[in-house]
Amino acid sequence: MQRLILYTPLADESRRLQQAVRSRMAAAGDEELQYLSFADAEAAAREIQTNGATLIGWDVSTEAARRALLPARAVCRSAFLLAIAERDTSPLLFLTPGIGPDSLVLRPVEKGEAERAAAEMAAELFRQAADDRRSFVIHSREGNRTVLYSSIYYFEARGRKIYLRLENQEIGFAGTLEQLETRLPPNFRRTHRSFVVNTDKIDRVLLTENTVVLWNGLSVPLSRSYKKEIKELPYG
């Protein structure tokens, strides 16, 4: 799910931006968007650091707000950032590497400005959605990492984490296979309660050995529950 996190202490401004974004999204398609608005900068920053964001709208007019944004921005560096500023706020205060906004609106944020900002946000959402169809995005406190689906061999649930396996590397991240399966394209299939495999990477299926062999010599277990489905797939 795409997530827009907005921090502004002005209720009318928040409502105007929210209406503009939702109107734009409704007109452009059915891309799902979770919209969370905060009047407290620290609370908004905690939300971003804990659960991530695709889009961020942030009042950068005060030093306290800019300071709160910095750690959240570090976690979600790839998120589209809309800076909201007073007309007398010096750009030197927020056009910095630590903040790096992608767009800017100046107060008062009237309907026209809100609609322009919403159009830019919607365009970014659809661009990212197109990327998501080709790539898997790993969200973490260190930032976001994008991995092409075509380079992934399998996902394994191990301990309390999921491990994404590339040819010579694995990457761990938080989650469950049940949550993961809702994000993956149809060529990713369960072979076992702990494994989801990219069927494009399957070399052969050894039914008597309960094993799926992948193109680089890696193998994953095949449980009885998934044998029929995997056997009938046009893999490779």
Is residue 145 in a domain?
Answer: no
pLDDT more than 90, % of the chain: 58
Q: What is the pLDDT of residue 91?
A: 93
For 121-143, write each residue's pLDDT tens digit: 888 877 766 665 678 888 776 66
Mean pLDDT confidence for 147-168: 91
Residue 147 forms part of a structural domain:
no
- What pLDDT is recorded for position 127? 73
Instruction: For residue 144, tell me if it sits in a domain.
Output: no
If asked whether residues 47 and 131 sit together in one domain, one would say yes
Q: Residue ranges of the alpha helices (H) in 52-174? A: 63-75, 111-134
Does a structural domain hold residue 236?
A: no
Gap between the Cα atoms of 173 and 169, Å rounded: 13
Query: What is the model's pLDDT at position 1?
Result: 61
Q: How many domains does the chain have?
A: 2
Q: Using the predicted structure, report yes or no on whether residue 81 has a pLDDT greater than 90.
A: yes
Residue 158 has pLDDT above 70, yes or no: yes
pLDDT at 28: 58
Residue 159 domain-assigned? yes
When pLDDT is cut at 50, 70 and 90, the band that residue 23 belongs to is: confident
Per-residue pLDDT, averaged over 3-28, amounts to: 89
Residues 49 and 20 grouped into a single domain: yes
Q: In Å, how far are 3, 172, 203, 219 from 195, measured between CA atoms?
A: 28, 14, 16, 11
pLDDT tens-digit map of 196-231: 999 989 999 999 999 999 988 899 999 999 999 898
Residue 15 pLDDT grade (very low, low, confident, very high; cuts 50, 70, 90): very high
CATH of the domain at 100: 3.40.50.2300
Tell me the whole-structure pTM to 2 decimals.
0.58
* Overall average pLDDT of the 176-180 stretch: 89
Same-domain check for residues 54 and 126: yes
Task: Output the average pLDDT for the chain.
Answer: 88
Domain extent, residue 125, equals: 2-136
Q: Tell me, what's the pLDDT at 147?
A: 84
Q: Which CATH number is 226's domain given?
A: 2.40.50.1020
Could you give the 3-state DSSP secondary structure of residue 45?
helix
The dihedral built from the CA positions of residue 101, 105, 109 and 112, taken in this order, carries a sign that is negative
62-74 residue pLDDT tens:
999 999 999 999 8
* Last residue within a domain, chosen from 136, 160, 176: 136
Asked whether residue 143 is domain-assigned, the answer is no
Give the pLDDT confidence score for residue 92 in this predicted structure: 94
Residue 181 lies in a domain: yes
> Where among 136, 162, 196 does a domain terminate?
136
Please, which contacts does 231-236 make with residues 24 or more away whose CB atoms are closer than 8 Å? 231/205, 231/207, 233/189, 233/199, 233/202, 235/199, 235/200, 235/202, 235/205, 236/200, 236/202, 236/203
Residue 204 maps to a domain: yes
Indicate if 201 and 89 belong to the same structural domain.
no
CA–CA gap between residue 15 and residue 22 (Å, rounded): 11
One domain, residues 124 and 166: no
Residue after which a domain boundary falls, among 136, 169, 185: 136
pLDDT of 155: 97
217, 159: one domain: yes
